[in-house]
């Protein structure tokens, strides 16, 4: 590691091999941060490992965020190898769009496990480390589906609603340790998750109900993440949820397209 890289702030990003997490990693790196990417083992993680192989400011590890012992061990190792953790982005997540009547309980439990418990496990492990140096910021990636009752989101939306409440509680409990905790609630974002989940009919619906009539690019979420994780930019913001959603949360009935 070069001297300047050694001085840089370190951000842990879960789900960091893909989509919003990966894009946030690239933006933070461009702004001089070090990043530790955590994701499930597999092709996407291998590709990220290869892409960052020559960059000493990056660490890439396979880890399931629902594995409490593995997360605790990994974050301690990340601090030891790359310096104190200044930021955490909880971007690891899974989604489903399935009618309430057809939603299996096992699927509901799995979504809660990854999106809620996994985010808690990572946030708590990081906060225990951050508390020692009285400094840090956690950004949880929630969803607009955690704020509005969109169709098919009984499990996913519930999990993201829980992430928002958890964000507020963590902000409250951790303020005395100098740790800020905020959430971002994205609307639809062009990522591998959405490419797999959204049908053409879904895309039409989103374009109908999002006043800006389009999906976000991951870079538009990453810039909000970079703002919230950086105490020089957002030092008095904690317990907040920022919707990055093209106006979806605030809209009531909207004009038809083209009107």
Catalytic site positions: 156
Min dist CB 32 to ligand NAD, Å, is: 23
Q: Which residues contact 70 (CB under 8 A, 6 or more apart)?
A: 63, 64
Min dist CB 1 to ligand NAD, Å, is: 25
Q: Where are the alpha helices (DSSP H) in the chain?
A: 3-7, 19-30, 43-51, 68-82, 105-112, 119-132, 154-174, 192-197, 200-209, 218-229, 231-234
Min dist CB 204 to ligand NAD, Å, is: 15
Contact 228, 191 (CB under 8 A): no
Closer by beta carbon to ligand NAD, 132 or else 214: 214
Min dist CB 101 to ligand NAD, Å, is: 23
Q: Is 62 exposed, middle or buried (0-12, 13-18, 19+ CB in 10 A)?
A: middle
Phi, then psi, of 162 in degrees rounded to 5: -65, -40
Closer by beta carbon to ligand NAD, 21 or else 136: 21
Closer by beta carbon to ligand NAD, 8 or else 19: 19
Closer by beta carbon to ligand NAD, 64 or else 167: 64
Min dist CB 131 to ligand NAD, Å, is: 24
Min dist CB 4 to ligand NAD, Å, is: 29
Closer by beta carbon to ligand NAD, 174 or else 221: 221
Closest CA to 222 of 11, 75, 66: 11
Could you list the residues that contact ligand NAD (CB under 6 A)?
14-15, 17-21, 39-40, 44, 64-66, 91-95, 114, 118, 141, 143, 186, 188-189, 191-194
Closer by beta carbon to ligand NAD, 17 or else 58: 17
Task: Concatenate the DSSP letters of all residues of 179-246 into one string.
Answer: EEEEEEEE--B-SHHHHHH--HHHHHHHHHHSTT-SPBPHHHHHHHHHHHH-HHHHTT--S-EEEEST
Spatial separation of the C-alpha atoms in residues 57 and 8, rounded to whole Å: 9
């Amino acid at each position: 590691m070069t001297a300047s890289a050694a001085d840089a702030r370190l951000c842990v990003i879960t789900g960091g091999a893909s989509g919003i997490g990966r894009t946030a990693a690239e933006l933070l790196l461009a702004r001089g941060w070090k990043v530790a990417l955590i994701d499930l083992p597999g092709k996407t993680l291998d590709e990220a490992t290869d892409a960052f192989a020559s960059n000493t400011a990056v660490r890439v590890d396979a880890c399931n965020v629902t594995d409490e012992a593995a997360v605790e061990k990994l974050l301690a190792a990340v601090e030891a190898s790359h310096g104190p953790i200044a930021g955490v982005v909880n971007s690891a997540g899974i989604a489903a769009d399935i009618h309430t009547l057809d939603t299996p309980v096992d699927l509901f439990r799995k979504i809660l496990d990854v999106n809620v418990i996994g985010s808690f496990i990572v946030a708590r492990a990081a906060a225990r480390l951050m508390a020692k140096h009285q400094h840090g910021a956690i950004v949880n990636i929630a969803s607009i589906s955690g704020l509005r009752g969109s169709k098919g989101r009984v499990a996913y939306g519930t999990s993201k609603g829980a992430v928002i409440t958890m964000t507020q509680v963590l902000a409250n409990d951790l303020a005395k340790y100098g740790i800020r905790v905020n959430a971002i609630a994205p609307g639809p974002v062009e990522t591998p998750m959405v490419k797999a989940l959204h049908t053409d009919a879904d895309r039409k619906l989103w374009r109908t109900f999002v006043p800006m009539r389009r999906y976000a690019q991951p870079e538009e979420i990453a810039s909000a993440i970079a703002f919230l994780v950086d105490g020089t930019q957002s030092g008095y913001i904690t317990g907040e949820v920022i919707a990055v959603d093209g106006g979806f949360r605030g809209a009531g009935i909207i004009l038809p397209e083209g009107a």
